Amino acid sequence: MEVLYLLLPLSVVLALVIALVLLLAVRSGQFDDLEGPAYRVLADDDNSSNSQASVVKPRDHSAET
């Protein structure tokens, strides 16, 4: 039972750390768009900001049309 005297304060500290992470997450905009990520997962092509990765894809499209 004595271990509780260590664990309880530790859990309080942990809760404070979690709170800090939560505040940072809100600030960084993680909760700005709660719908988008669900759809982004479904997109089949890789979402890359540099264009090299998507070079293949447009060619596929042009072959189809």
Partner 1 sequence: MAPVSSIDAEVNSLTTAAGGVYAHPSVEQLFVRPTTNGGREAFLLIDGIRCGACALNVERGLQRLAGVRDAEVNFSTHRARVLWDGSRLKLADILGAVRNSGYGARPYDPSHRETGLESERKLRLRRLGIAGLFGMQVMAISLALYAGDFTGMQESLRMLLRWASLVLILPVIAYAAIPFFLHAASDLRRARTGMDVPVSLGLLIAFSGSVYSTLTGSGAIYFDSVAMFVFFLLLARYVEFSARVRHSRIAESLVTAPPAMATRLRATSQGLIPEPVLAAALVPYDRVVVASGETVPADGVLVSGGSTLDESLLTGESRPIRKTTGDEVIAGSLNFDSPIEVSVRHAADDTLLANTLRLVARARAAKPPAVQLADRITASFVAAMLLIAVVVALYWWYAAPDRWLPITVSVLVITCPCALSLATPAAHAAGVGALTKLGIIITRSHALESLAKANRFVFDKTGTLTLGKLIVSRIETQDELSEENAIRIAAGLEQNVSHPVARSIRSLCCGAPAQAKAIVVTPGRGVDGRVDGRRYMIGSVDFVAERLAQPQVARNFDAPELETVVLLADESRVIASFVLRDEPRADAVRVLERLRSMGISLSLLSGDRAQTTAVLATRLGFENASGELLPQQKLAVIRGMQAGGETVAAVGDGINDAPVLAGADVSFAMAGGPEAARASADLILIRDDLESIAASVGIARRTRGIIAQNLSWAVAYNLLAVPAAALGYVPPWLAAVGMSLSSLIVVGNSLRAGRARFPQKGS
Closest approach, Cβ 65 to partner 1, in A, equals 15
The CA distances from residue 54 to 28, 36, 46, in Å, are 28, 21, 7
**How near is the Cβ of 56 to partner 1 at its closest, in Å?**
13
Residues that bind partner 1 (CB under 8 A): 1, 4-5, 8-9, 11-12, 15, 18-19, 22-23, 26-27, 31-36, 38-40, 42-43, 45, 47, 49, 51, 54, 58
Give, in order, the Cα–Cα distances in Å from 38 to each of 32, 33, 48, 54, 59. Answer: 13, 10, 17, 21, 27
Comparison of 39 and 64: residue with beta carbon closer to partner 1: 39
